[in-house]
Amino acid sequence: MRIKNLLYGIVASTVLFSTAVVAKTDVIWWEYSEEGSGLNDALVKYIQDGFNQSQEDVELEIIFKEGEYNEATRTALLAGVGPDIISSSGATYVAKYASGGFLMSLEEVAEKNGWKDKILPWAYNTGVFGGNLYSLPKNYESMLYFYNKTLFDENGWSLPTNLGEYEALAGMIQSKGMYPFAYGSSGWPMTHEHLAGNYLNTVAGPDNVYKAMIGEKEWTAPEFVEALELLKKHMMAGYWSGSLENYYAVGWDDFSAQFHNREAAMLQIGSWGFEIATALEGDEWGWAPLPILTKNGGEPNYQLSVGGTLSVNAASKNQDAAAEVLNWIVSNRETIVEFTKSRDFGAWLMPLYYEASDFGDDVDPRLRDYLVDFSERTGKGHYGYTTWTYYPPEAGTHIWKDMEVVWAGDISVKEFLGEQQELWEKARKNNELLPIAAR
Amino acid sequence: MTSWLFLAPVLFIHLLVVAVPSLSSLALCFTDWNGFGKINFVGFENFIELFDDRVFKKAVTHNLIWTGLFLTVPIALALLAAFLLTGVRRFQMFYRFVFFFPYILASIVNCLIWKYLFHPIHGLAAFFRDIGWESLATSPLTTKETSLYAVAFVDGWHFWGFLVVIYITAMYQVEESLYEAADIEGASKWQKFRYVTFPSIRPMFLFSFLIIIIWSVPAFDYVYILTSGGPAYSSEVVANFMYFEAFRNMNVGYASAVGALMFVYVFTILGFFWTLRKLGWEI
């Protein structure tokens, strides 16, 4: 009898144990692979393992995809499959996925868990389409100046605050046989849009850019023509890597080396450039927001940008579990700070409401100053717009791909902006504009 | 009937993975599909827009130049090299391997090598600058006047070895007795090539002509890796244009219209060669 009971006990506990194991819900998440940089391992450590250890009901697995990640995702979604959690390059993709009905609305989850109180409002709004939240911003970026402080001190140079000072500084740097800025487009021609966005936001100004984006102003207005004419003039003067030909041939490694080897005095790049600046050896470096390139200058602004998003697949069988993962991320600010700190704040800097105390004493004060300054300045309304977060697809491609045609002298700036205007009108007509919060 | 039964599995697979996707892709050229949402029929709107698209027109012109370049330079060089190599007795396999080697390298490897060589700061330009030849100290890939030719040069550099090998193979099939007769007649090396070798390898030559015309239509990888069609569309080709429309601008319907035109062009070329064959040409 005892043996019989023992056997029953073993069978019953085995069944119960198996049920418990089987009951665990699997959540699959596809993510870009950045094997070489170590980001994959960090993502597994901080997010996958962090989430799995925090509870016992859901098992998260992050699968890293090589190559054209967005294409793999699109194909899977069209086939009615794909991962439970979808990562994308930005709002352009989210807009298309949402319009095709491939994403689950996160509105209810966001409301229930108070995401609006945790995520910076401008970044939150980049995921709202037709009144529904479809994506979480994964990382926020802005365009900055990095400069070789030692070099500046040695030569008595100071950071420019208006157009006159900017051009004078560039001239002084060039007279020393250096490039004013290290930069180039080889391997990533979208760098053209970084420059175009910088000039639109610092010459024409974010108010005008905003008006053009919402259709209250034409892109052919004199302010925009002036901005891109100035960019062309500076490009032809060799501000970036010495000449247009060099700029086209120089890639990430080259321009990082230019900055590190004193071949260039400054670097005009996104906040991901902290990775380059922190690797500078021997010299001190500094950073600054972009100066306003008008006669009298003005209050600098930070261009808003969301680099990467997270959404839940509408075809997922585990939507609740997938949403639980996203909520865990949004609600665990400490883990996110630890994670992004491990990446020098170049990746996974989620646009959450941070406080200075979040970063600890071991964070480089220059990085902390940037993060705090970004929050304060943008909070006061001094913000602009990056093309890759706010432009509809065709206008977003045109702004960098056809900029080369302007620089080659094949079309005028006015003609180029006329084409931009047409593409914005087409996007407006086809309801393809991305969400832009009122200023 | 039995033959059809034997063919059935292959036909089925072909229908499933080639014919049906190709036909559905062709059907998309009459729509405004963005790759995700609703599909709307737009008739010939995509084609009307295409014929007015300055970039598409530029890309078509570049494809024609590309085809012209590949039908002349690599063919001429390969014929010469193959003819000279057939006279080499020692280390012949070694020479064949040397010529064929760039062809078996991955395009990304070839491109990176040449991208570095053509770099205006570190590459050959730096060398020319050092020895005072300033006019040569530029990068052909980043200059709009030369970018298309520079990309075609790199692609041709990897491709011509393939032609050398197929021409050598064809030349070895030529009857030795024909050369002996030519020797008896006192024919020069050029006369032997002109009257014996070339007529004998004409089917292979025309075959290479045909594949070059067809392969020039989807030319993509070297352009994409080396210049992405730039600077300022100076090296833009049709396949790269189509890729950008489909995957960057998300105009899948528009890109399908480009694909449909490429399809029509290739079929026209094939029809032309088929007609020549019907007329008795050895192809």
Q: Name which of A296-305, B131-140, B211-220 the model is least confident about.
A: B131-140
Number of DSSP helices (H) and strands (E) in chain B, helices first: 14, 0
More confident residue, B102 or A418: A418
The DSSP output letter for A115 is G
pLDDT tens figures, B32-67? 998 887 889 999 999 999 999 999 999 999 999 999
**Closest-CA residue in chain B for A69?**
B247
Q: In this complex, is the C-beta atom of A236 within 8 Å of any C-beta atom belonging to chain B?
A: no
Nearest CB partner across the interface for A249, out of B121, B244, B247: B121
Question: Do residues A428 and A215 lie in contact, with contact meaning Cβ atoms separated by under 8 Å?
Answer: yes
Picking from A97, A245, A407, the nearest residue to B138 by CB comes out as A245
Report the run of H or E that residue A35 belongs to, with start and end. Answer: none
Per-residue pLDDT at A36 exceeds 90? no
Q: Kindly state the helix (H) or strand (E) to which residue A41 belongs, with its residue range.
A: helix A39-43
Task: Show Cβ contacts of residue B9 under 8 Å, excluding neighbours closer than 6 positions.
Answer: none
Annotate A160-199 with DSSP letters as a single string.
--SHHHHHHHHHHHHHTT-EEE----TT-TTHHHHHHHHH
Q: What is the mean pLDDT of residues A18-42?
A: 79
Q: Which residue has the higher pLDDT, A346 or A231?
A: A231
Q: Which residues of A touch B228 (CB under 8 A)?
A: 189
DSSP string covering B194-235, please? IIIIHHHHHHHHHHHHHHHHHHHTT--HHHHHHTTT-STTTT
Q: ω into residue A222 within 30 of 0, thus cis? A: no
* β-pairing verdict for A264-270 and A179-181: parallel
Sheet of strand A58-65, all strands in order from the earlier edge strand to the far edge: A58-65, A25-32, A85-88, A309-312, A136-137
Phi first, then psi: what are they for A371, rounded to 5°? -60, -40
Nearest C-alpha in B relative to A255? B121
Burial B206-229 (b: 16+ CB within 10 A, else e): bbbbbebbeebbbbbbbbbbbbbb
- The rounded percent of chain A whose pLDDT value lies above 70 is 95
pLDDT, residue A6, reads 59
Residue A20: is it exposed, middle or buried by C-beta count within 10 angstroms (0-12/13-18/19+)? Answer: exposed
In angstroms, rounded to a whole number, what is the distance separating the alpha carbons of residues A252 and A257? 9
* Dihedrals phi, psi of A68, to nearest 5 degrees: -75, 85
Q: How far is A213 from chain B (nearest CA, A)?
A: 18
Chain B interface test: which of A404, A415, A426 (most B C-beta within 10 Å): A404
CA distances from B101 to A135, B83, B104, B157, B225 (A): 49, 19, 5, 11, 20
Instruction: Give residue B38's pLDDT.
Output: 83
Q: Using an 8 Å Cβ cutoff, are A85 and A329 in contact?
A: no
Tens of pLDDT, residues A245-302:
999 999 999 999 999 999 999 999 999 898 899 899 999 999 999 999 999 999 999 9
Please answer yes or no on whether A96 and B139 come within 8 Å at the CB atom: no
Mean pLDDT of chain A: 91
For each of the domains in chain A, give its residue range(s) and CATH number, in order of start: 2-140+307-379 (3.40.190.10), 141-304+382-429 (3.40.190.10)
Report the pLDDT value the prediction gives residue A8, as an integer from 0 to 100. Answer: 65
DSSP letter (8 states) at residue A88? E
Residue of A nearest to B144 (CA): A408
Residue B25 Cα distances to B29, B238, B263, angstroms: 7, 17, 11
Q: What is the DSSP string of A284-325?
A: -EEEEEPPP-STT-----EEEEE--EEEEBTT-S-HHHHHHH
The chain A residue lying nearest B245, using CA atoms, is: A394
Q: Which helix (H) or strand (E) holds B111?
A: helix B107-117
Q: Which two tokens stand for residue B279?
A: 């007329």
Chain B residues lying within 8 Å of A186, measured CB to CB: 115
Q: Which of B35, B138, B231 sits opposite A404 (nearest CB)?
A: B231
DSSP string, B155-209: HHHHHHHHHHHHHHHHHHTS-HHHHHHHHHTT--HHHHIIIIIHHHHHHHHHHHH
> In angstroms, what CA-CA distances link A168 with A173, A231, A274, A425, B109?
9, 15, 26, 39, 43
Q: Where are the beta strands (DSSP E) in A66-166?
A: 85-88, 128-129, 132-133, 136-137, 140-141, 143-148
Write down the ipTM of this complex. Answer: 0.82
The residue behind tokens 């945790």 is A118
Provide the pLDDT for residue A165. Answer: 98
Q: Which two tokens stand for residue B224?
A: 């994409």
pLDDT of residue A2: 59
- A433 vs B: CB within 8 A: no
Nearest CB to B35: which of A74, A246, A250? A74
User: Nearest by CB to A249, which of B142, B233, B251?
Assistant: B142
Contact A100 B250 (CB under 8 A): no
pLDDT at residue B97 tops 90: no
Which of B34, B119, B244 shows the shortest C-beta gap to A96?
A: B34
Measure CB to CB from residue B232 to each of A68, A394, A405 and give the nearest one.
A405
Phi, psi of A214, deg, nearest 5? -90, 0
A353-394: per-residue pLDDT in tens? 887 788 888 888 898 889 888 888 888 889 999 999 999 989
A99 contacts B142? CB cut-off 8 A = no
CA distances B212 to A244, B66, B219, B256, B283, Å, are 34, 10, 10, 23, 14
Is pLDDT above 60 for A113? yes
**Mean pLDDT in chain B?**
91
- Does residue A13 register a pLDDT over 70? no
Is the pLDDT at A436 greater than 90? The verdict is no
* Among candidates B37, B142, B233 on the partner chain, residue whose Cβ is nearest the Cβ of A245: B142
**Angstrom distance (rounded) from CA B260 to CA B252:** 12
A410 touches chain B (CB under 8 A): yes
- Among the listed ranges A139-143, B84-88, B161-165, B190-194, which one has the minimum average pLDDT value? B84-88
Residue A264 per-residue DSSP state: E
User: Chain A partners of B35 at a C-beta cutoff of 8 Å?
Assistant: 74, 78, 96
CB contact under 8 A, B234 and A71: no
List of chain B residues whose C-beta atoms are within 8 Å of the C-beta of residue A408: 144, 231-232, 234
Q: Which tokens go with A115?
A: 């995401």
Question: Rounded to an integer, what distance in angstroms lies between the CA atom of residue A103 and that of residue A232?
Answer: 41
The residues, ordered by sequence, that sit 6+ positions from B153 with a Cβ below 8 Å of its Cβ are B140
Dump pLDDT digits (tens) for A196-223. 999 999 999 999 999 999 999 999 999 9
Alpha-carbon gap: B11 to the closest alpha carbon of chain A (Å): 24
User: So where are chain B's domains?
Assistant: 42-278
| Chain A contact probe: residue of B142, B143, B240, B242 with most A CBs at under 10 A | B142
Q: What are the chain A neighbours of B141 within 8 Å (beta carbons)?
A: 248-249
Among candidate residues A137, A39, A72, the one with its CA nearest the CA of residue A389: A137
Q: Is the pLDDT of residue A5 over 90?
A: no
Of A77, A244, A393, the CB nearest to B249: A393
Which of chain A's residues have a Cβ under 8 Å away from the Cβ of B34?
96
* Rounded Cα gap, residues A393 and B184, in angstroms: 71
Q: Number of CB pairs < 8 Å for A and B?
A: 74
Nearest CA in chain B to A408: B232
Asked if B141 lies within 8 A of A393 by C-beta distance, the reply is no
Q: Which residues of A touch B139 (CB under 8 A)?
A: 245, 248-249
CATH architecture of structural domain B42-278: Orthogonal Bundle (1.10)
Reduced to 3 states, what is the DSSP secondary structure of residue A283? Answer: coil
Question: A309 vs chain B: nearest CA distance in angstroms?
Answer: 18
What are the C-alpha distances in Å from B251 to residues A63, A100, B29, B31?
29, 14, 10, 10
Using DSSP's 3-state secondary structure scheme, residue A353 falls into coil
Q: Tell me the chain A residues in contact with residue B247 when contact means C-beta distances shorter than 8 Å.
A: 68, 70-71
